[in-house]
């Protein structure tokens, strides 16, 4: 199972990757923004993406991914918990979302829920 962690913050990417490794997922790739992530999609099984990023934000990235891949699980990781934004993300193909800051248990639950 190969994960792609997309976030413009290297610290947040490291936190997510370390948490994933602690819960047993070790095949991890990372990208700084949506455009970078699109170039790294080969062999990816699940995506965790931030919403607010330069170059291409998370929502545009999700929309682009969904034009060619309707089934890959996508988790949106965001500081923005506004209901309208969450609904918009879900309508555009996000399978679930995590609000920052989050616990390792929350990340594990959300990952497992989209992999079922």
Do the domain assignments include residue 48?
yes
Position 83 scores a pLDDT of 78
Q: Which domain holds residue 92?
A: 2-111
pTM score of the predicted model: 0.94
CATH code where residue 103 lies:
3.40.50.2300
Do the domain assignments include residue 116?
no
| Alpha carbon distance 107, 100 (integer Å) | 10
DSSP letters of the chain?
A: -EEEEE-S-HHHHHHHHHHHHHTT--EEEEESSHHHHHTT-TT--EEEEESS-SSS-HHHHHHHHHHH-SSS-EEEEES---HHHHHHHHHTT--EEEESS--HHHHHHHHHHHH-
Position 116 scores a pLDDT of 85
Position 12 scores a pLDDT of 94
Position 14 scores a pLDDT of 96
Do the domain assignments include residue 22?
yes
Residues 92-106: tens digit of each pLDDT: 999 999 988 899 999
Do the domain assignments include residue 97?
yes
Position 27 scores a pLDDT of 97
Domain count, the chain: 1
Residues (pLDDT < 70) of the chain are none
Position 30 scores a pLDDT of 98
């Amino acid at each position: 199972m190969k994960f792609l962690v997309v976030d413009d913050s290297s610290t947040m990417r490291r936190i997510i990757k370390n948490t994933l490794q602690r819960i047993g997922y070790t095949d991890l790739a990372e990208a700084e923004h949506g455009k970078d992530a699109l170039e790294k999609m080969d062999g990816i099984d699940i995506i965790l993406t931030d919403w607010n990023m330069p170059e291409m934000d998370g929502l545009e990235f999700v929309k682009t991914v969904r034009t060619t891949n309707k089934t890959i699980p996508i988790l949106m990781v965001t500081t923005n918990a506004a209901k309208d934004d969450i609904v918009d993300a879900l309508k555009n193909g996000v399978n679930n979302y995590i609000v920052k800051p989050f616990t390792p248990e929350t990340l594990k639950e959300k990952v497992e829920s989209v992999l079922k």
